[in-house]
Copies of this chain bind each other. A is one copy, B any other.
Amino acid sequence: MKYCSVCATPVEHSVPAGDNLPRYHCPACGTIHYQNPRVITGTLPVLDGRILLCKRNIEPRWGYWTLPGGFMENGETVAEGAARETWEEARNAPELRQMLSVISLPQFDQVHIFYLADMVSPDFSTTEESSEVALFEPDAIPWDDIAFRTVLATLRHYVDHLGPDGRAPARLPLLDTTIIPRLRD
């Protein structure tokens, strides 16, 4: 941020009076330009025990598998965003069963939230964002080719809670955790 979005004056970056963190703020009109974490919202869609994954047709992590998800938009709920992203990336409109994970990524200023979702229709398809969309048995998840660590953690949490019959319990505990990048990231 270089210029005030209200009046085009060059902004300053310092701790405003009465605050305790540095902010971009405008010396002309006084606007403080707060910057806050963004929410990524998505689903883990399940059909007859199989999990829907999308092969990314976009960067970052092109060619890796992911759960459908993306940035939450103004004017929608977390659940609406998760359903919208599932439609945009996989052309499926699942029923959201429960919130499954809330994962903070403080070094990326993001919070990732995933819902466990029941695929009420078996239909899905590739999209501009997904070069392949496919159902995977839990023991066939491509663990080495998952795009993001939040997706990996959410899938692992789900699979770890499956019963001996391979089915999920009526209600899974919420995975509430933090992911810090490894040094090599």
Chain A residues in contact with chain B, CB under 8 A?
1-8, 11, 21, 33-39, 71-80, 98-99, 102, 104, 106-107, 109, 111, 113, 171, 173-174, 176, 178
Query: Are A78 and B111 in touch, CB under 8 angstroms?
Result: yes
- Which one of A11, A74, A109 has the highest number of Cβ atoms from chain B below 10 Å of its Cβ? A74
What residues on B are CB-neighbors of A113 within 8 Å?
102
Residue of B nearest to A84 (CB): B20
Task: Name the residue of chain B whose CB is nearest to the CB of A96.
Answer: B176
Contact call B21/A33, Cβ cutoff below 8 A? no
User: Which of A1, A75, A80, A171 has most B Cβ within 10 Å?
Assistant: A75
* Cβ B72 vs Cβ A37 within 8 A: yes
Report how far A21 CA is from B3 CA in the complex, Å: 24
A3–B4 Cα distance when bound, in Å, is 7
* Interchain nearest-CB distance for A87 vs B (Å): 11
Q: A1-B5, A78-B104 are in contact. List 5 more A-B contacts (CB 8 A).
A: A3-B4, A36-B38, A37-B76, A75-B106, A76-B106
Bound Cα distance A2, B6 (Å): 5
Q: How many whole Å from A27's CB to the nearest CB in chain B?
A: 14
